[in-house]
């Protein structure tokens, strides 16, 4: 006769797409941007990424060991946080800052609130904001890309490490080539410069159904629309700064974005508005990370107001009207 | 072609290729059969026979006075050897009548030979000659229940509340659970019986329209039915997108008719009657021959089964006999399930009998058939996307664990139909449905307390 049969509740089949698998897909989607960062800023970008990743993973592991929690580093979410943190730093940032940033992201933002799922803001972005406040000089020391430097040595006249948004803020002028901005041949944080690489990652995420198109597309579209409405150049707003990276990889973070489709549409739309307002009227040239952090905080509220959507409701309210 | 569907749902690997090309073979029942006195939703039956009695095949052996109930019949001829409690495939134990098979299959005298000619004209003439109440009565006497899994007594559905006028009968041929192909084979092998049964059901409730809904993954059945429907102006075929849980009553209704059953309501409230496709052939046999529901198609499949098959099985045969009829197991199974893998019930033994609602029995070896550790919710929203009832499963599971009755009501916990889509999709492998079931019982208990 048979050994003990397992008796458990239905369903008896599960998807293979566990968190680990999804995070692996996010990491794969980030690889084009990693390659772009190495191409434009040299091998130092890679070292920065490795530092933050190692820092995030080690701190998470250590925390869980010390407090005897289940070890969940295998879910790869710390790796994603690490990569995104580095992607939001300039290549000139010292490696120790990567370590500090990783510690902040994991310990303060993630683990202190109970680990993955319970943090209310995106750890990588919160860490970036923290670094920016603590070491503003280091975090805004922009280096020109490898190609711009080469061209300068060859005798070209301009050499500037300023980011397009920085220049816009200072001078009110747009002095960049759209093609350079699209490919990533501009100054900025290492992971944000290449729109092309990010779009490749985005397509991969869509094909693998890790995320849906709604948040990134609505976010970017609303930035374009609001920028144009406020008399700015919409295309420039899209291609500059961290918008693309933020829209595809950070605004879509599962934990800190709303859950329902309706909630996500509201969220993405507000993100667009906030980003344009901060960029245009704020003291800082960039507004993506603060917009996302702000909206992260509002997310539980959005979830709460969009919870009612159950089947059978439409019918009832119609009947009630009659 | 644009397929009809609903919002939400999942796309599990359907594994139907294991059995959908295999014609149904007749299974010969062995020595002893076990007929549970409760095979349906509603009141259990009281036995009508005693130990030692001789019973005919098709003889009524259990009945209840309650309206929501269905009588049970012997599926072989032989002697009653025992009436005792036995493990039930629906969980727990139930009183069962054990019958020693004499291998004669002597039919009960009330059962007539099948006299109806299966062509559109004679079927229509026959249906027209009958009286609605007569059909309902025969359906009740034959113990017909829904055969898709829930096993709700059909005569109850055929007697809708007087303020509900049924205009359309919806025949459910979605068979959206992975692995199962028993309905698919029934559609291919006894289409005229199904059409006749659909007409009989419609006649019983005086509905003008019949829609037979089939999922797009059964192109051969769709083609056959569309061809046949040309002879029946009142019958249309609805092609559904292949998606789980497309065959769930409310989702089917939404997909095919765009109507939504109000929360807590019945299909009859929106003028519909929904029944499973093979139930129709049982209705035809019941009305034409007085043949009770004692036999059905069962898919025997799963990765542990050596030769997955569709079998025509007598009610009361044990699962073990069916696995044996499929050449046994390739490897010792770790889990046996009655029904589909999404909503089926795990069994603790293979000695349980087939009942009227047994659409399939599955045996699995893979460790993934049982849950791994559960993680914390990462709020990915995937469960929210797939929930066909448009609920917030993650919130429900959390509130269920905290037993917050007010919140649970606020989030409409009672509308969850336990389809399992949320648990299937959750990347953190949370046991969402399990928590929600607990939450529902907490809510029910508190309501009862409130009523007292
Ligand atoms: S089991 Fe309930 S909550 Fe989960 S998807 Fe199905 S209806 Fe929604
Ligand atoms: S699918 Fe699982 S992890 Fe995602 S929101 Fe639902 S319960 Fe949470």
Is there a domain that residue A5 lies in?
A: no
Chain B contact present for A309, CB below 8 A = yes
The closest alpha carbon to B332, from B311, B298, B306, belongs to B306
- Taking CB atoms and an 8 Å cutoff, what residues of chain B touch A255? 378-380
In chain B, the percentage of residues whose pLDDT exceeds 70 is: 97
- Residues B257 and B182: their CA atoms lie apart, in Å, by 25
- Given a cut of 90, is residue A157 above it in pLDDT? no
Nearest CA to ligand 2 atom 4: B380
Is there a domain that residue A144 lies in?
A: no
Average confidence (pLDDT) over A177-181: 85
Confidence of residue A104 (pLDDT cuts 50, 70, 90): very high
CATH 3.40.50.11540 positions along chain B are: 111-289
Work out how many domains chain A is built from and give that number: 2
- Residues B101 and B402: their CA atoms lie apart, in Å, by 52
User: Using the beta-carbon criterion (under 8 Å), do B376 and A309 form an inter-chain contact?
Assistant: no
Best residue among B244, B387, B399, B440 to mutate for probing ligand 1, ranked by most atoms within 8 Å of CB: B387
In this structure, are A92 and A176 located in the same domain?
Answer: no
In this structure, are A180 and A268 located in the same domain?
Answer: yes
Q: How far is A233 from chain B (nearest CA, A)?
A: 34
Backbone angles phi, psi at B253, to 5 degrees: -60, -45
- Looking at residue B183, its pLDDT comes to 93
- Residues A43 and A45: their CA atoms lie apart, in Å, by 5
User: Using the beta-carbon criterion (under 8 Å), do A13 and B415 form an inter-chain contact?
Assistant: no
Encode pLDDT of A120-139 as tens digits.
899 999 999 999 999 988 88
- Residues B338 and B149: their CA atoms lie apart, in Å, by 9
- Looking at residue A149, its pLDDT comes to 73
Residues 396-425 of B with CB under 8 A from A: 411-412, 415, 418, 420, 423-425
- Residues A212 and A318: their CA atoms lie apart, in Å, by 31
Optimal mutation site among A3, A10, A322, interface B, most CBs of chain B within 10 A: A10
CB atoms within 10 A of CB B111: 16
- Looking at residue B241, the DSSP 8-state letter turns out to be P
In this structure, are A119 and A23 located in the same domain?
Answer: yes
- Residues B343 and B279: their CA atoms lie apart, in Å, by 19
The closest alpha carbon to B165, from B208, B218, B117, B116, belongs to B208
Lowest mean pLDDT among A4-18, A123-137, B22-36, B42-56: A4-18
Is there a domain that residue A89 lies in?
A: yes
Residues 97-126 of A with CB under 8 A from B: 114-118
Average confidence (pLDDT) over B368-383: 76
Residue range B111-289 in CATH 3.40.50.11540: yes
CB atoms within 10 A of CB A242: 27
**DSSP-assigned letters across all residues of A262-305:** HHHHHHHHHHHHHHHHHHHHSSSS--HHHHHHHHHHHHHHHHHH
- Looking at residue A317, its pLDDT comes to 41
Backbone angles phi, psi at B156, to 5 degrees: -70, -45
- Looking at residue B369, its pLDDT comes to 47
Q: How far is B197 from chain A (nearest CA, A)?
A: 30
Q: Which residue in this structure is represented by tokens 């107001």?
A: A305
Residues 199-258 of A with CB under 8 A from B: 254-258
In this structure, are A92 and A216 located in the same domain?
Answer: no
Chain A contact present for B324, CB below 8 A = no
Best residue among B246, B250, B417 to mutate for probing ligand 1, ranked by most atoms within 8 Å of CB: B417
CA separation (Å) from B109 to A7, A41, B60, B315?
Answer: 42, 91, 12, 20
CB atoms within 10 A of CB B198: 28
In this structure, are A182 and A270 located in the same domain?
Answer: yes
Encode pLDDT of B188-224 as tens digits.
999 999 999 999 999 999 999 999 999 999 999 999 9
Which residue among A2, A9, A260 places its CB closest to the CB of B434?
A: A9
Optimal mutation site among B250, B381, B434, interface A, most CBs of chain A within 10 A: B381
Encode pLDDT of B267-307 as tens digits.
998 999 999 999 999 999 999 999 999 999 999 999 899 99
Give the chain B residue nearest A75 (alpha carbons). B428
Top-confidence residue, A52 or A281: A52
Q: Could you tell me the distance, in angstroms and rounded to a whole number, from the CA of residue B126 to the centre of ligand 1?
A: 43
Confidence of residue B18 (pLDDT cuts 50, 70, 90): confident
In this structure, are A170 and A130 located in the same domain?
Answer: no
- Residues B39 and B97: their CA atoms lie apart, in Å, by 12
pLDDT averaged over every residue in chain B:
90
Is there a domain that residue A311 lies in?
A: no
Encode pLDDT of A282-307 as tens digits.
877 778 999 999 999 999 999 888 87
- What is the domain extent for residue A179? 161-186+211-305
Is there a domain that residue A86 lies in?
A: yes
pLDDT averaged over every residue in chain A:
87
- Looking at residue B158, the DSSP 8-state letter turns out to be T
In this structure, are A120 and A44 located in the same domain?
Answer: yes
Top-confidence residue, B433 or B448: B433
Q: Could you tell me the distance, in angstroms and rounded to a whole number, from the CA of residue A197 to the centre of ligand 2?
A: 29
Please say whether the beta carbons of A311 and B417 come within 8 A: no
Is there a domain that residue A220 lies in?
A: yes
In this structure, are A182 and A240 located in the same domain?
Answer: yes
In this structure, are A132 and A215 located in the same domain?
Answer: no
């Amino acid at each position: 006769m048979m050994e003990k049969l397992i008796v458990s509740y239905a369903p008896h089949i599960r998807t293979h797409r566990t968190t680990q698998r999804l995070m692996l897909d996010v990491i794969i989607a980030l690889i084009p941007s990693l390659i772009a960062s190495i191409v434009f800023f040299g091998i130092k970008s890679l070292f920065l990424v490795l530092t933050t990743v190692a820092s995030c993973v080690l701190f998470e592991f250590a925390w869980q060991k010390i407090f005897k929690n289940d070890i969940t580093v295998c879910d790869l979410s710390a790796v994603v946080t690490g990569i995104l943190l580095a992607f939001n730093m300039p290549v000139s940032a010292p490696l120790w800052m990567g370590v500090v940033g990783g510690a902040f992201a994991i310990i303060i933002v993630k683990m202190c609130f109970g680990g993955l799922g319970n943090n209310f803001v995106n750890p990588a972005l919160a860490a970036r904001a923290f670094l920016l406040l603590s070491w503003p000089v280091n975090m805004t020391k922009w280096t020109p890309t490898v190609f711009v430097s080469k061209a300068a040595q060859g005798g070209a006249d301009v050499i500037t490490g300023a980011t397009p948004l920085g220049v816009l803020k200072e001078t009110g002028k747009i002095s960049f080539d759209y093609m350079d901005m699209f490919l990533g041949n501009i100054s900025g944080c290492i992971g944000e410069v290449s729109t092309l690489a990010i779009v490749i990652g985005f397509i991969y995420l869509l094909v693998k159904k890790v995320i849906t198109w709604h948040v990134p597309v609505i976010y970017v579209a609303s930035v374009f629309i609001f920028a144009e409405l406020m008399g700015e150049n919409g295309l420039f707003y899209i291609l500059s700064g961290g918008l693309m990276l933020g829209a595809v990889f950070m605004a879509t973070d599962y934990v800190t974005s709303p859950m329902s489709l309706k909630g996500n549409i509201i969220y993405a739309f507000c993100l667009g508005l906030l980003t344009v307002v901060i960029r245009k009227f704020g003291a800082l040239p960039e507004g993506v990370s603060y917009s996302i952090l702000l909206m992260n905080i509002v997310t539980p509220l959005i979830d709460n107001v969009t919870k009612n959507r159950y089947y059978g409701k439409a019918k009832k309210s119609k009947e009630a009207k009659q | 072609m644009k397929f009809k569907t609903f919002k939400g749902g999942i796309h599990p690997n359907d594994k139907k290729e294991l059995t959908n090309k295999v014609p149904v073979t007749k299974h010969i029942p062995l020595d002893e059969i076990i007929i549970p006195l409760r095979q349906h939703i509603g009141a259990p039956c009281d036995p009508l026979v005693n130990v030692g009695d001789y019973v005919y095949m098709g003889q009524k052996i259990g009945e209840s006075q309650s309206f929501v109930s269905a009588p049970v019949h012997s599926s072989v001829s032989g002697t009653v050897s025992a009436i005792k409690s036995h493990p039930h495939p629906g969980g727990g134990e139930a009183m069962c009548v054990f019958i020693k098979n004499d291998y004669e299959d002597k039919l009960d005298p009330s059962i007539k030979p099948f006299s109806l000619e299966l062509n559109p004209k004679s079927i229509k003439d026959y249906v027209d000659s009958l009286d609605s109440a007569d059909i309902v009565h025969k359906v009740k006497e034959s113990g017909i229940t829904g055969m898709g899994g829930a096993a709700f007594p059909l005569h109850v559905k055929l007697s809708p509340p007087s303020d509900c006028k049924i205009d359309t009968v919806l025949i459910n041929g979605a068979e959206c659970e992975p692995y199962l192909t028993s309905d698919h084979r029934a559609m291919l092998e006894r289409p005229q019986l199904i059409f006749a049964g659909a007409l009989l059901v419609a006649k019983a409730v005086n509905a003008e329209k019949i829609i037979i809904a089939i999922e797009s993954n059964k192109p051969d059945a769709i083609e056959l039915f569309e061809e046949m429907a040309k002879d029946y102006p009142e019958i249309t075929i609805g092609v559904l997108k292949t998606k789980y849980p497309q065959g769930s009553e409310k989702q089917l209704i939404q997909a095919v008719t765009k109507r939504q059953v109000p929360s807590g309501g019945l299909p009859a409230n929106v003028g519909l009657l929904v029944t499973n496709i093979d139930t129709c052939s049982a209705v035809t046999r019941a009305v034409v021959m007085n043949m009770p529901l004692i036999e059905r198609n069962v898919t025997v499949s799963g990765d542990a089964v050596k030769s997955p098959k569709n079998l025509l099985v007598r009610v009361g045969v044990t699962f073990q006999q069916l696995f044996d009829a499929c050449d046994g197991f390739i490897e010792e199974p770790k889990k046996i399930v009655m029904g589909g893998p999404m909503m089926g019930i795990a069994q603790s033994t293979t000695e349980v009998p087939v009942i009227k609602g047994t659409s399939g029995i599955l045996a699995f070896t893979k460790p993934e058939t049982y849950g791994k550790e559960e993680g914390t919710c990462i709020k990915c929203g995937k469960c929210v996307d797939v929930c066909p009832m448009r609920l917030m499963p993650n919130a429900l599971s959390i509130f269920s664990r905290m037993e917050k009755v007010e919140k649970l009501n606020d989030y409409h916990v009672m509308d969850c139909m336990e389809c399992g889509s949320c648990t299937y999709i959750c990347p953190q492998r949370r046991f969402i449905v399990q928590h929600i079931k607990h939450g529902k019982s907490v809510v029910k208990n508190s309501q009862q307390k409130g009523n007292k």
